[in-house]
Amino acid sequence: MARAHVTFPRPRISDVPAAVRRELETLPLPPLRGRRVAVTAGSRGIRDIVPILAATVAWVRGHGGDPVLVAAMGSHGGGTEEGQRRLLAHLGITAESVGAPLMTSMDTVELGRTPRGLIAHCDRNAAACDGILVVNRVKPHTAFADPFGSGLLKMIAVGLGKAPAAAQIHRKGPAEMGAAIDAIAGVVIATGKIYGGLAIVENAYDETAAVAAVPPESLRDRERVLFADARRLMPSLPVESLDLLIVDEIGKNFSGTGMDVNVIGRWRLPGMAEPAAPHVQRIVALRLSAESEGNAQGVGLADVVTRRLVDAIDPVATYVNTLVSTYVQRAFVPVTMPSEHDAIAAALASLDLPDPAATRAMRIANTLHLEDCWVSESLIPELQNRPEVAVDRPEPMAFTDDGNLQ
C-alpha cells in the first residue's frame, strides 16, 4: 500500500462568527426585544457548530431577544432527554459554551397536518417560544436521494419533531421520505413560528465553506441551491471501482449511517437501487469511534468487522436509532473477526481474485476525511498522473503483534 494525498476544492470562511453576524443581519425579522427565540442544535460532525451557535445566541441577545438552545435531534441519544443532553455535551454544546439555557425535552406538540395526514410535530419548548431560528449543515442525506438532503428542512420536520416525527417520516421509506420532510416543514413554516434558517455548507476538509441566512418563505427553494453546492464540495474516493475498502473508523460523528453511503456507494435499502459508482466489492470496518457513544447505526453496510468494533456497540443506542429509521439491515452485525489483520484477510479470501497482487484496495480513516489515504500498488498507475493526487512509494502493510494495523 502507498500513502496518497488527494487535494479537493477548499473554499472556506476565515472568521466564522463574523460571517454568521453578517448573514443574520439580512433576515427580515420582527423586532426581537422581549421575544424568546429558540435556536436549534443537533447534527453531529459540524466543525464550527459551537462558535456558530454562540454567535447566533449573542446576535439574538444583542438585538434584545431572549435566546434559548433547543435540542433538535429526532430520536438520537437513545430517544431520551438525558441521552440528548449528553450527546450535545460530547459535541461541546452546553449552556456555558453557547451562552444560553439548553433545553432537551422529548415532549412535542402538534402544529398541524399535511394534506396527506402527516403530523407536524414540534418540540414543546421550541413551540412555546415566540420564534425559532433553525441552524443546521446542508449535505446529502444517507436515506433518500432528493434534490435536498440533511439540512434546514429536515431539522424542522425531524429534528424538532423528536422521536414521533422521526418514526413517522422513516416509515415512508426512501422513495417518499424527501417529499414527507418537505411537506411537514411547509406546514411548520406556514404557522409563522420559523423566523428563518442559518445554513452551513462545509468543504471536503470538514471546514465551513459558507453560511447563509434564509428567510422562512425562501427555505424550501434556497435549500435546494445550497444542497447542490454542498454536494459539489463533499469529498469522494479518487477511484470508482474497488475490490476492498478498509475503513479505520465508523461512527455517527462521521455520518448518520456511520459511513456515508454517498462516499462508499452502498445504500442497502429495500427498493433503493445501488449507484453505479463508486462500486466496492468488500468493505472492512475496523473500529467504532468513541464520539459515537456506542451507536453503531450503519455497521451493516460493512461486510467484515473486528471483535473490537462489535464489543464497542451499545445495543440500546443502536437499536433505538435503527428501529426508528426502519432500516434494520443497516444494524446487522457482519462477519466478525478477532483482529484487524484477520478481518482484512477474511475479506480478501472471500473475493475471487485470480491475481491477489492486482487487488484494487484502499484504506481511509473514515468517510468524512478522505484527503489522506492508502492505496494498493495496483492503483498507482491510475492515480500518479492525476494533478490532484500525490502518491508515495508502496510499502507492505504492517501489523502489531496482536494483529492491529500500525
**Residue recorded with cell 432500516:** 327
pLDDT at residue 30 in the model:
94
CATH superfamily to which 16-233 belongs: LarA, N-terminal domain (3.40.50.11440)
Burial class for 39, CB neighbours closer than 10 Å (0-12, 13-18, 19+): buried
Q: Which residues contact 168 (CB under 8 A, 6 or more apart)?
A: 118, 119, 121, 161, 180
- Give the C-alpha separation, 37 to 127, whole Å: 10
The percentage of residues in the chain with a pLDDT greater than 70, rounded to a whole number, is 99
Q: How many CB atoms lie within 10 A of CB 404?
A: 14
* C-alpha cell read off for 330: 443497516
For 144-159, write each residue's pLDDT tens digit. 777 888 899 999 999 9
Q: How many CB atoms lie within 10 A of CB 150?
A: 24
Segment 60-75 shows an average pLDDT of: 94
Q: Is 64 helix (H, G, I), strand (E, B) or coil?
A: coil
Domain range annotation of the chain: 16-233, 236-391
- H/E element holding 253? none
pLDDT at residue 116 in the model:
95
Q: How many CB atoms lie within 10 A of CB 11?
A: 12
